[in-house]
Amino acid sequence: MSLIPTRPRARVAAAAVVVALVVVLVSPLLGRADVNGSYRPVLPPDGLTTGCYPLPGGVVPDFAYVLRRDGDTLAADGLRRRTVLQVDRIGADEARARLEAQFEEAGVSGVRVRARDFDGVPDDAVVRGEMVLDLPVVVRQSDDPDCFDVNSTKRFTPDLADRS
């Protein structure tokens, strides 16, 4: 009695079993995600704290925020840096006042800050509004790999610039 089936259907079934076993055995080597026990993805570091493209004076907002976009744009007065933050847990007026005070304490001028509360946001909502910083241009300050990750720096290519 031979171990190799002689009927065509049996041969196909045996071949399928062998292929399935090979796939199962080599699949850990083909880029499967590492199991870390968490369903949450690893988030990229905050682009304002990595040192890649710091705010003037090394200022980092002292309130909850999310960096949405950061990049250079051509304005009426030349090339400027435009940084957009999502403001969390506090109102736009308070966020603007606190950030302007931080810049002043750091001896920084030439920064324009606009902030607005989102309309219709409940009082207990986390996301409260948006802040746009008009800043002098800064070049990349580090060669750390995070500085080349658009998910961290939020320095999107022009075709992705309007996405948040």
All structural domains of the chain with their residue ranges:
1-32, 56-160
Confidence of residue 164 (pLDDT cuts 50, 70, 90): very low
Whether the pLDDT of residue 58 is over 80: the answer is yes
Q: pLDDT tens-digit profile of 117-136?
A: 999 999 899 999 999 999 99
Question: What are φ and ψ of residue 87, in 5° steps?
Answer: -95, 125
pTM of the model: 0.73
Please, what is the average pLDDT of the chain?
A: 87
Q: How far apart are CA 138 and CA 53, in angstroms?
A: 6
> Which one is predicted more confidently, 160 or 118?
118
- Give the residue from 82, 44, 85 showing the smallest Cα distance to 62: 85
Q: Are 108 and 57 in contact (CB under 8 A)?
A: yes
Q: Are 108 and 21 in contact (CB under 8 A)?
A: no
Please state, for a pLDDT cut of 90, what percent of the chain lies above it. 65
Q: Is 45 a residue whose pLDDT tops 60?
A: yes
Q: Quick one: DSSP state of residue 123?
A: T
Check residue 129 and give its pLDDT: 97
Provide mean pLDDT across the span 8-18: 79
| H or E element at residue 79 | strand 78-88
pLDDT class of 43 with cuts at 50, 70, 90: confident
Are the C-beta atoms of 99 and 113 separated by less than 8 Å? yes
Which pLDDT score, from 0 to 100, does residue 3 have?
60
Q: What does the pLDDT read at residue 10?
A: 76
**Three-state DSSP state, 10:** helix
